[in-house]
Amino acid sequence: MQPTPRSLRLHIGIFGRRNVGKSSLLNAITRQHVSIVSEVAGTTTDPVEKPMELLPLGPVQFVDTAGVDDEGALGELRIERTKTVLDRVDLGVVVTEGGGWGAFEDALVGELESRVVPVLVVFNKSDLRMPDTREIAHLQLARIPSVTMSSLTGAGVVDVREALLSLAPADFFDSRRLVTDLVPPGEVAVLVVPIDKEAPKGRLILPQVMAIRDLLDGESMALVVQERELSRALGRLTRPPALVVTDSQAFLKVAADVPAAIPMTSFSILMARFQGDLAEQVRGTLGIERLKGGDRVLVAEACSHHPIGEDIGRVKIPRWLTQYVGATLEFSHVQGRDFPSDLAPYRLVVHCGNCMGNRREMMSRIHRCRVAGVPITNYGLTIAYSLGIFERALAPFPAALEALHAARA
């Protein structure tokens, strides 16, 4: 069985001071020994991640963090790691004990709320002490839901689960579609999948698999071809397909082979819409126009896949951008969670499709770029732009086109 991609899981972060029972709470909710528990403060040093089915919510991923109130050099490292978790959770649990609420907890709640992440407060260790009426009143006033539980006895675990379900962001339940909203039931999407030396041996990559699955779920049809079969495939259809989706690297050939009346885009642009904010990244793409020689460009990938052959992020994107700008640019590359906190040195961020990351983290990166005034685009958008087929690749997305025209006006 294929595991559910990380990106489709609701990420739930567990935060709080050291020793309040964060790891115990995770173990109690999952009824498994996921995270190490001990009476020594500072037991959890790195975020511990646990994917599970939390019914009826479906696939979630708990992230147990290190207590963040500690001091010293080692503590600072832990705090940094815990802060990166704040950026990628869809829901935050702030754990404390009866009588333990203070400025630190208020600050944690503030960090989550500033990221528009719903918060649940859990007063753990209810077998030892219940929260004070003062604490309950404080939270009620701030409209922050709280529950009490004991990880030791299991009392209140059910309440925590229920509270998590009711707090899960609505858009998690929305049937946000990757592609089927563009391909009515019974209609055909042609998917162009080059099988070159960069294609993994014997399988398809995640965005391709996700698109096929989404089309099947929507009772639409997928015709999957290599780029050299595209013309023949189109010729064999009795009416035009609703959409052609190509790997961005075959964009130019596909754009030439697909009649202008047939909507065409790339997997990477579909991913920008599904896993990020297409309109914002379309606006960001216009940042390419302002690049000049010597400018720094950050190329960010959400996972650390191994570059094979002519890697797209390290070789092709820099080459296309350099050709387009007609001057030497300075490229930096980051992978996985290593997104820099200081974006000021960059004139442009080019992000991958984020198929392995989660949407919340991508939204947080987009937000940070916006705050820093640095335009952010993605691979497919950059390729389409530098090849001169930007508007064509955006034609299936009227809202994104509108954003483009507004930004240009």
State how far the Cα of 240 lies from the Cα of 176, in Å rounded to an integer.
25
96: how many CB neighbours lie within 10 A of its CB? 25
Question: Rounded to 5 degrees, what angle do the CA atoms 155, 158, 162 make?
Answer: 145
Q: Of 149-157, 158-166, 321-329, 350-358, which part binds ligand GTP (CB under 6 A)?
A: 149-157
User: If you write DSSP's letter for every residue of 304-320 in order, what string do you get?
Assistant: -PPP-SS-IIIIIHHHH
Residue closer to Mg ion (CB basis): 38 or 166: 38
* Residue at token pair 């965005």: 207
CA distances from 50 to 9, 24, 26, 87, 216 (A): 11, 13, 9, 17, 29
23 near Mg ion, rule: CB under 5 A: yes
Backbone angles phi, psi at 79, to 5 degrees: -60, -45
State how far the Cα of 366 lies from the Cα of 277, in Å rounded to an integer.
8
Residues in the chain: 409
Handedness of CA 93, 99, 105, 109 (dihedral sign): positive
Residue closer to ligand GTP (CB basis): 35 or 281: 35
Question: Rounded to 5 degrees, what angle do the CA atoms 126, 132, 138 make?
Answer: 120
State how far the Cα of 29 lies from the Cα of 318, in Å rounded to an integer.
46
Tell the smallest beta-carbon distance from residue 275 to ligand SF4 (Å).
9
Task: List residues bridging with 327 in a β-sheet.
Answer: none
Which of Mg ion, ligand GTP, ligand SF4, none sits in contact with 356, Cβ below 5 to 8 A by type? ligand SF4
Tell the smallest beta-carbon distance from residue 201 to ligand SF4 (Å).
15
Q: CB of 274 within 8 A of CB of 281?
A: no
- What part of residues 315-374 is at the interface with ligand SF4 (CB under 6 A)? 352-357
Applying CB under 6 A, which of residues 22, 273, 283, 365 lies at the interface with ligand GTP?
22
Applying CB under 6 A, which of residues 125, 283, 347, 365 lies at the interface with ligand GTP?
125
Tell the smallest beta-carbon distance from residue 40 to ligand GTP (Å).
7
Q: Of 39-47, 289-297, 343-351, 357-365, which part binds ligand GTP (CB under 6 A)?
A: 39-47
> What's the Rg (C-alpha) of the chain?
24
The pattern of x and - marking residues 2 through 21 that bind ligand GTP according to CB under 6 A reads --------------x-xxxx
Applying CB under 6 A, which of residues 79, 130, 152, 262 lies at the interface with ligand GTP?
152
Tell the smallest beta-carbon distance from residue 183 to ligand SF4 (Å).
22
43 near ligand GTP, rule: CB under 6 A: yes
Question: Rounded to 5 degrees, what angle do the CA atoms 158, 159, 160 make?
Answer: 90
Residue closer to ligand GTP (CB basis): 67 or 357: 67
Going by the DSSP 8-state scheme, the letter that residue 263 receives in this structure is -
Residue closer to ligand GTP (CB basis): 150 or 354: 150
- What part of residues 304-363 is at the interface with ligand GTP (CB under 6 A)? none
Which of ligand GTP, Mg ion, ligand SF4, none sits in contact with 355, Cβ below 5 to 8 A by type? ligand SF4
Residue closer to ligand SF4 (CB basis): 20 or 363: 363
Which of ligand SF4, Mg ion, ligand GTP, none sits in contact with 42, Cβ below 5 to 8 A by type? ligand GTP
Q: CB of 135 within 8 A of CB of 141?
A: no
State how far the Cα of 352 lies from the Cα of 73, in Å rounded to an integer.
33
Tell the smallest beta-carbon distance from residue 13 to ligand GTP (Å).
13
Which of ligand GTP, ligand SF4, Mg ion, none sits in contact with 301, Cβ below 5 to 8 A by type? ligand SF4
150 near ligand GTP, rule: CB under 6 A: yes
State how far the Cα of 4 lies from the Cα of 82, in Å rounded to an integer.
24
- What part of residues 93-112 is at the interface with Mg ion (CB under 5 A)? none
Kindly state the tokens that stand for 312.
């797209």
Applying CB under 6 A, which of residues 6, 9, 44, 350 lies at the interface with ligand GTP?
44
Q: CB of 96 within 8 A of CB of 44?
A: no
Helix or strand run (H / E) with residue 11? strand 10-16
Judged by the rule CB under 6 A, the positions of this chain that interact with ligand SF4 are 301-303, 305, 352-357
Contact positions vs ligand GTP (CB under 6 A): 16, 18-24, 37-39, 41-44, 66-67, 124-125, 127-128, 150-152
Interface residue list for Mg ion (CB under 5 A): 22-23, 43-44
